[in-house]
């Protein structure tokens, strides 16, 4: 007897299931065939990169932020560095904003600033003026002590200034992130219960961009102005230890300067425009278009308050007379042309010479009585994107210039201006085991010959003093 076919032995449920499987297989085969035919008609193409949208930056705090400096409040043990303390911070979740709290200047520092504000006249300079430094020999007399090397701000320093105080050395620095740090070099702070500023350093966070300029006038050293690449100009309230924004610009401010005969007049470079801001009225009174590109430095002649010089990325240095400047199309007294951008142009203390620093790897000195009488020194100014640019500054007299170099030292240039000609040469190389970074920007103490502050891209400041 013949056996029944396999389908006959299936139940009704199993028969329906087998039919569904055959039907689904037929549909899938048809889909695969159509997909193969369609892909054959499309030419192959390289995969496109994924486009990333730029995230909006978080809103900056409305008021200035003051950072505490003690290790205890940052949760760092004395043996740890600040870099290792922040190594475990998650990048996905930003750290909480720092505590809004004053650092409280030491009583001696606050009293010095108050006394300077109460004085009707600025304290006298070195006896005999610039002649007091005629016998000063930087190579033989300047030394860097271990206690005079200190990290003042967290990031790269773009501006440094020694305040014009006769009784102490107070260094103010501004870094790339917008911090402003004060360092009381004269000693430790004894009246700080919490330990903030126990090393004489006080840190603030008033700006939203790189701090490109810090100024304080000798007749009003308690008024400390600062500017940033974010277009802000701030005035520090010393009594409250807060920064007030007194002016906002649409473009970055690359340099800041004060008129020698008025502490309330601020000259700042917004791009390629020079602007005059009157702190008494809180407004910009005059704007001059002086260069084709950004202005990198502004400096007034010490012996002539109407004459000033500007250096620019447009490869020119220009001399100006404030009395003859027109609002539209001002005429310069002299134009000096270069092959590359110029980072600085500063008058000598006597006002008889001008020194410039350029990205064409030169330092040039000009005799202002005869611009044809000049000298050029080769100097490696290729600092790259991670270091602040070099800017050569004058010593306390016309005999020397200071400029940083890539060997973690300071080049001292000796200048000789005789009746016949102008000459200059490298005479000294200042180096120290305590100068662990390249000094890029410098400031002199206006009343203490031999106090030289050099600032680096690591946030450190090195104060050289007389041996």
- Higher-pLDDT residue of 297 and 107 is 297
Q: Which two tokens stand for residue 117?
A: 């504000």
b/e per residue, 205-219, with b = 16+ CB within 10 A?
bbbbbbbbbbbbbbb
Q: What are the CA-CA distances from residue 144 to residues 94, 126, 437, 454, 467 (Å)?
A: 39, 22, 13, 11, 9
Residue 103, pLDDT score: 52
Q: Is the pLDDT of residue 95 over 50?
A: no
pLDDT grade for 99, boundaries at 50, 70 and 90: very low
pLDDT in tens, 399-430: 999 999 999 999 999 999 987 889 999 999 99
- Which range among 116-120, 232-236, 293-297 shows the weakest confidence by mean pLDDT? 116-120
pLDDT grade for 457, boundaries at 50, 70 and 90: very high
- Which range among 91-95, 169-173, 364-368 shows the weakest confidence by mean pLDDT? 91-95
pLDDT grade for 232, boundaries at 50, 70 and 90: very high
User: Residue 9: what are its φ and ψ, rounded to 5°?
Assistant: -85, -5
CB 406 within 8 A of CB 380: yes
- Which range among 37-46, 152-161, 211-220, 281-290 shows the weakest confidence by mean pLDDT? 37-46
Predicted structure pTM score: 0.76
Residue 208, pLDDT score: 92
Ramachandran class of 329: left when φ > 0, alpha when ψ lies in -120 to 50, beta otherwise? left
**Angle formed at CA 136 by CA 134 and CA 138, multiple of 5 degrees:** 140
250: helix, coil or strand? coil
CB 260 within 8 A of CB 298: no
Residue 222, pLDDT score: 87
Q: Which two tokens stand for residue 47?
A: 């995969």
* Of 304, 297, 294, 246, residue with least CA distance to 272: 294
Q: What percent of the chain has pLDDT over 90?
A: 58
Sign of dihedral through CA atoms 131, 145, 86, 201? negative
Residue 449, pLDDT score: 93
What is the rounded average pLDDT of the residues 12-35? Answer: 84
* Of 397, 400, 403, residue with least CA distance to 378: 403
The overall average pLDDT reported for the chain is 83
Q: Is 38 exposed, middle or buried (0-12, 13-18, 19+ CB in 10 A)?
A: exposed
pLDDT in tens, 319-363: 999 999 988 889 999 999 999 999 999 999 999 999 999 999 999
Distance CA 318, CA 148 (A): 37
Residue 92, pLDDT score: 38
Sign of dihedral through CA atoms 113, 114, 117, 122? negative
pLDDT in tens, 259-268: 888 888 999 9
Q: Which residue has the tokens 């520092």?
A: 109
Residue 149, pLDDT score: 95
Distance CA 254, CA 313 (A): 11
Query: Strands across the sheet with 232-237, in order?
Result: 211-217, 220-228, 232-237, 242-248
What is the rounded average pLDDT of the residues 25-38? Answer: 82
Q: Is the pLDDT of residue 228 over 70?
A: yes
Q: Which two tokens stand for residue 176?
A: 């790339």
What is the rounded average pLDDT of the residues 236-244? Answer: 84
Residue 213, pLDDT score: 97
- Higher-pLDDT residue of 285 and 113 is 285
How far is residue 178 CA from its own chain's centroid? 8
Residue 81, pLDDT score: 40
Q: Which residue has the tokens 């030394």?
A: 143
């Amino acid at each position: 007897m013949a056996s029944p076919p396999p389908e006959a032995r299936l139940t009704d449920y199993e028969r329906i299931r087998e039919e569904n499987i055959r039907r689904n297989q037929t549909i899938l085969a048809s889909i695969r065939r159509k997909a193969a035919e369609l892909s054959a008609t499309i030419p192959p193409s390289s995969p496109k990169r994924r486009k990333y949208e730029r995230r909006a930056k978080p809103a900056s705090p409305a008021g200035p932020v003051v950072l505490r400096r003690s290790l205890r409040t940052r949760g760092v043990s004395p043996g740890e560095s600040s870099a290792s303390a922040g190594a475990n911070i998650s990048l996905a979740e930003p750290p909480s904003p720092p505590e809004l709290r004053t650092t409280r200047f030491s009583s001696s520092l606050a009293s010095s600033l108050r006394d300077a504000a109460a004085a009707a006249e600025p304290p006298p300079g070195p006896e005999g003026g610039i002649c007091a430094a005629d016998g000063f020999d930087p190579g033989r007399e300047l030394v860097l002590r271990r206690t005079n090397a200190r990290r003042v701000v967290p990031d790269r320093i773009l501006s440094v200034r020694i305040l014009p105080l006769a009784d102490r050395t107070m260094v103010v620095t501004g870094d790339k992130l917008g911090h402003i740090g004060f360092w009381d070099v004269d000693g430790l702070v004894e009246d700080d219960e919490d330990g903030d500023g126990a090393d004489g350093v006080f840190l603030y966070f008033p700006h939203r961009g790189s701090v490109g300029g810090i100024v304080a006038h000798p007749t009003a050293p308690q008024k400390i102005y600062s500017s940033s690449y974010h277009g802000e100009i701030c005035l520090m309230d010393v009594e409250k230890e807060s920064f007030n924004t007194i002016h906002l610009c649409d473009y970055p401010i690359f340099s800041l300067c004060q008129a020698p005969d008025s502490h309330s007049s601020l000259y700042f470079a917004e791009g390629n425009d020079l602007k005059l801001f009157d702190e008494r009225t809180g407004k910009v009174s005059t704007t001059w278009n002086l260069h084709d590109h950004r202005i990198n430095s502004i400096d007034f002649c010490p012996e002539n308050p109407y004459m000033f010089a500007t250096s620019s990325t447009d490869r020119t240095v220009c001399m100006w007379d404030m009395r003859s400047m027109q609002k539209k199309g001002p005429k310069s007294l002299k134009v000096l042309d270069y092959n590359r951008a110029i980072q600085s142009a500063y008058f000598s203390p006597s006002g008889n010479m001008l020194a410039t620093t350029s990205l064409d790897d030169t330092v040039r000195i000009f005799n202002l009585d005869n611009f044809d009488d000049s000298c050029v020194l080769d100097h490696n100014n290729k600092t790259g994107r991670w270091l602040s640019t070099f800017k050569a500054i004058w010593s306390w007299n016309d005999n020397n210039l200071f400029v940083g170099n890539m060997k973690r030292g300071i080049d001292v240039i000796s200048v000789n201006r005789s009746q016949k000609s102008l000459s200059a040469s490298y005479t000294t190389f200042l180096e120290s085991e305590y100068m662990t970074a390249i000094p890029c920007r410098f400031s002199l103490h206006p009343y203490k010959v031999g106090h030289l502050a050099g600032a680096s891209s690591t946030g450190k400041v090195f104060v050289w003093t007389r041996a």
